[in-house]
Amino acid sequence: MAQNNTVIIGAGIIGCSTAYYLSQSTNTAAQSIHLVEASEELFKCASGFAGGFLAKDWFAPVVAPLGALSFQLHRELAEKSNGRERWGYSSTITSSLSRDSEEAVDGSGEDWLRDGTSRANTAAADSSISGESQDQLPPWLTTSQEDTVEVISSKETTAQVDPLQLSKFLLDECLAAGVHLHHPARAISISKDTRDDTLASIRIHDAINGVESNIPCTRLVLTAGAWTPAVFKTLFPASTYSPPISALAGHSLLLKSPRWTPTTQSRRTQACHALFAPDDAAAGFAPEIFARRAGELYIAGLNSSSLPLPDRASDAVPQPASIDQLKKVAELLLGHPEARESDLRVIRESVCFRPVAAGGRPLVGRVDDGRLGGVRTRGGGQGGVFVAAGHGAWGISQCLGTGKVVGEMVEGRETSVDVGGLGI
């Protein structure tokens, strides 16, 4: 019988979070965990190019326990491993910009991402906010007399990280513990134990050496983001099931501004700032701006469902028209109003493909054997096929909670919070 090796396909921040918590468990040997990543460059998609905004209570009821757990784990991990310096963890004061006296945008709940509205409408009422003060407003924001800036979440309920640095930290911790990384490598098929038809191994193709090899596997976790349905179809071609996840492209800019430096943070609050603007502040989308502790400003919110998903994350290419549109909005909201020339410096232009699940909630759970096209798996924490994908724009915020509960599922243990409503 095959050993209880765990193969995690997709070494983005969800996959690395899962490997991280599994490798810390006394029930799973780190050396029995394998991360498989097809992209030539690690974290060159939603994991590395995301905004890194964290929220405690901006989620629909079915997702709320996972969101709160993950927010807590982010804070604990940052305190334990000096996340403030290593991946820019910072408490964040979050504001909403309105161009008139009305609320910034209409629409809320789980559909905001597909509808092109602002996720600021999902923010829970924060009773700890007792009015505005100058240090609570973004020092880098350019406003006019018609603008209203309202603080909607305090530094106790929102935070910020550099997702690329957090992803690298999690992977480094996994590798130091003994987790195996296969990269760049693609999962191409499965093998079954001939005695009972249960999942026994995963066959991968090494893109560098051009060779194929088998990894013993009884526990399989699919964390390939927007590529999860394609991976599932490759490994289980006889199945009629497909994880209901689609790709939504999102462009972003990473900027430098003289109005935001590492010393700009308020001495009293020691917090960063996040801003959500309405979709009438620019043509056709609701801008999101996040300030990072290292002195960077991240602007995004321009999404497209028509941009095709590339074969690999490293093949994604930003669209010039979308980048130009973001630059115009950046000048409007971040530029110096009296400067003849822009004092904003672009340090990265990027596009990533967010995995969006049907209903606006992530898929976190075990796939029933009846959906595997004739493949059986062992029970009782000894085997199974699991999916953790479809987090939309909340992958960074919910990554640690997802990794923890998926690790618990893989081991057949009770999960830290109830995620039954997110099952397959």
pLDDT tens digits for 164-191? 999 999 999 999 999 999 999 999 999 9
pLDDT at 114: 46
C-alpha 323/C-alpha 159 separation (Å) is 26
In this structure, what token pair is assigned to residue 276?
Answer: 């959500």
C-alpha 161/C-alpha 211 separation (Å) is 38
C-alpha 326/C-alpha 251 separation (Å) is 8
Dihedral (CA of 404, 188, 168, 88) sign: negative
Would you list the domain boundaries of the chain?
6-46+165-245+358-422, 90-158+246-357
pLDDT tens digits for 336-394? 877 678 899 999 999 999 999 988 899 999 999 999 999 999 988 999 999 999 999 99
- Whether 338 and 161 have beta carbons less than 8 Å apart is answered as no
Closest CA to 385 of 393, 395, 376, 397: 376
| Average pLDDT of the chain, as a whole number | 89
Q: If you count them, how many residues does the chain have?
A: 424
Average pLDDT over residues 46-63: 96
Specify the pTM: 0.91
Domain at 6-46+165-245+358-422: CATH architecture = 3-Layer(bba) Sandwich (3.50)
pLDDT at 28: 96
C-alpha of 95 from chain center:
21
pLDDT tens digits for 256-303? 999 998 776 655 457 899 999 887 644 578 999 999 999 999 999 999
What is the band of 147 on the pLDDT scale with cuts at 50, 70, 90? confident
Helix H or strand E encompassing 174: helix 163-177
- Return the beta strands (E) in 145-239 as ranges: 148-153, 158-160, 180-182, 185-192, 199-206, 211-216, 219-222
Same fold, 6-46+165-245+358-422 and 90-158+246-357: no
The DSSP line for 318-377 is --HHHHHHHHHHHHHHHS-TT-SS---EEEEEEEEEEEEEGGG--EEEEEPGGGSSS-B-
Average pLDDT over residues 128-135: 49
In this structure, what token pair is assigned to residue 421?
Answer: 């409503």
Percent of the chain at pLDDT above 70? Answer: 88
Beta partners for 273? 93
384: left (phi over 0), alpha (psi -120 to 50) or beta: left
Q: Give yes or no for residue 101 having a pLDDT over 50.
A: no
pLDDT at 16: 98
Dihedral (CA of 372, 35, 26, 390) sign: negative
What is the band of 109 on the pLDDT scale with cuts at 50, 70, 90? very low
What is the band of 132 on the pLDDT scale with cuts at 50, 70, 90? very low
pLDDT at 145: 72
Q: Give yes or no for residue 133 having a pLDDT over 90.
A: no
pLDDT at 1: 36
pLDDT at 269: 58
Indicate the CATH number for domain 90-158+246-357: 3.30.9
Residue where the block lists tokens 């924001």: 141
pLDDT at 136: 72
Q: Give yes or no for residue 106 having a pLDDT over 70.
A: no
Residue where the block lists tokens 């098929």: 189
- Whether 181 and 175 have beta carbons less than 8 Å apart is answered as yes
What is the band of 113 on the pLDDT scale with cuts at 50, 70, 90? very low
Q: Give yes or no for residue 98 having a pLDDT over 90.
A: no
